Structure 1
Amino acid sequence: MTVESNKIVNSGLDVVTPNNKIPITNSLNQNFQTVTLNYKQNCYISVNSYLTNLEEPGEKVMDFQISNLDHCIVNLVSSNVTIGAIHIKGLKDTIIMSGPVRSSILIHDCERCVFLIGCHQFRMHTSRQMTIYLHTTSHPIIEDCNNILFAPYTLSVPSLGNMFEAAKLDPTNNKYDKVEDFNWLRQQASPNWQTVLENKILKDWPFLHVDDPKDEETVLNVLNEILGSQLIS
């Protein structure tokens, strides 16, 4: 089905919203969907901007496949949806903000990005100059990565406790700094990652309660300010 203006028209399995053209694949379970975000630049994307048109009674679970974004801010924080998993590939100069994820986050081929994410299992491959604000209940794994910063998850929204519960994630158990580098098997600390200094930790995340900032210049200014202050140069 597709969304046209404010109505839903049956035309197969893909759903495209009028504002941000996000394709959604429905499964037989009406409360589960896979969302693909790809090939976008210089834009802001919010999960809430299209959830209201598609929301069904009961728990909504979404998996996200995100690829080939450049200079974007992606806001996946919503009390109306539980994220099952996130697969990310080929992002540059992009910020992702997400609520707790029920299973895993897998990242490939990204550079100069800042992610705010929580999950049971975190893996990142072939990426560089990344800052990850992370909550994970298992040891994060990196491979073929360099200039990576890790910090504790600093999302602060009123519904955060319910979001942790929906994701079956223990908010008191965070192993964000127990990183295993598969390219560094020595006893000494890996040179490929470090933790963010306490006075550099970002706590005020932009646009968490905004579905559409409308002003592209403002979005890009905020994006560049955060990337400039949060990445290893």
Structure 2
Amino acid sequence: MQGLESEPVDERIEAKRAKLLARLHGRHANNQTSSYAAPNRHKQLDALLAKAKEQIASGEVDDQTIKQLEEHLNLDATSRQAKWVQDALQQMRQIALGREIGATQANGVGVKSFSFKISQPTSIPSTSSIKSPEKKKPAEKPEEIHNVDELLDDGRTLVVKDLKNETLKFTGEDGRDVRVCNISGGRLSFAFRPATVYIKDVTNCVLLFFPVKTSVLLYDCSNLNLHAAAQQIRVHSSHHLSLHVNVQAPGAVIIEDCDNVSVAPFRMREVDVESKNEFWRKVNDFNWLAEAPSPNWKIADEKDWTEETVE
């Protein structure tokens, strides 16, 4: 009986030994495959980075290379080469966006999804009725309506700069560029449709714009409340912003080197947004390439989705 019972035991031991040997053999084979695959992956990435470098230098980038870099970063975000991939991606995306803006401006494509609920102001005060800021004491300066022709640095650009705690409304001809620089405090309203808007060094201020034909570009601002609709909103090196915006494509709200940014839909009493899209929710953070949500921006609470007026 003992001999008959020992035979199944021996078979089980032999079966376990065979499984163990097979497992060890498989592990060895996998290690060999990995040892061959790793150098190949490095070579492929080196070639891809070299290709990206050439495209960056030439200023001509293609979407396929960008996609390949993104795929590599998603698969291996912790390697020593991940930072190189991230830097290349950032530069290529900037070039691609610049190309899109240039094509848009060359084709004269404007924002088509807005209409006015009421007529724009038809009366513009004469220059004699507007006092120069340098000749007035801030405490005595009332709210004013400015004609864009007063502050032009060339025939097509309205320049508003070096103001503190002013409440002003600007009117004029559609299609002019606007530059807003070195503003502290106050509220500035622009009751015409600019072509492109440039904003720099603005703090503790509210800016309101009728729909912009192409882009709003914003640099080095803080504690700013912006109300604007455009094809694209690009924000750089800015902090503590409240963006009430509408854009024409997902990812067209772009931030870079920014934090504490909240976004809400563009709502203005004088402007009817016919396109009820949700693209304003799709913020593209150039400094955050991980799949997890960026900590640098958030959707504002609905109680803060205010409707404004330029009046």
Query: Relative contact order (alpha carbons < 8 A, sep ≥ 6): 1 or 2 greater?
Result: 1
Corresponding residue to 1:74 among 176, 183, 188: 188
Q: Which has the higher strand share?
A: 1
| Residues 48-67 of structure 1 mapped to structure 2, 5 A cutoff | 48=171, 51=172, 60-67=174-181
Q: Residues of 1 paired with 2:158 and 2:278: CA distance?
A: 27
Distance 1:42 1:185, change over 3 A: same
State whether residues 119 and 137 of structure 1, in contact with CA within 8 Å, keep that contact through their aligned partners in structure 2. Answer: yes
Larger Rg: 2
* Unaligned ranges ≥5, structure 2: 1-125, 135-149
Secondary structure at the aligned position of 2:198 is classed as strand
Per-residue Cα deviation, 1:46-102 (whole angstroms, up to 9, x for no partner): 113xx4xxxxxxx632110001100020101x2xx3210100000000000111100
Counterpart of 2:16?
Answer: none
Q: Residues of 2 paired with 1:199 and 1:120: CA distance?
A: 26
Q: Percent identity?
A: 23
Deviation at 1:26, TM superposition (A): 4.4
State whether residues 20 and 45 of structure 1, in contact with CA within 8 Å, keep that contact through their aligned partners in structure 2. Answer: no
Residue 113 (1) aligns with residue 224 (2): yes
Residue 153 (1) aligns with residue 153 (2): no
Number of matched residues?
Answer: 169
Q: Residues of 2 paired with 1:156 and 1:124: CA distance?
A: 25
Per-residue Cα deviation, 1:165-208 (whole angstroms, up to 9, x for no partner): xxxxx6333411101111110000000000111123222x36x2
Corresponding residue to 1:193 among 297, 304, 307: 297
State whether residues 245 and 266 of structure 2, in contact with CA within 8 Å, keep that contact through their aligned partners in structure 1. Answer: yes
- Normalising by structure 2, report the TM-score: 0.51
Secondary structure at the aligned position of 2:279 is classed as coil
Cα RMSD between the aligned structures? Answer: 2.0
Residue 44 (1) aligns with residue 167 (2): yes
State whether residues 36 and 66 of structure 1, in contact with CA within 8 Å, keep that contact through their aligned partners in structure 2. Answer: yes
- Normalising by structure 1, report the TM-score: 0.67
Q: Which has the higher helix share?
A: 2
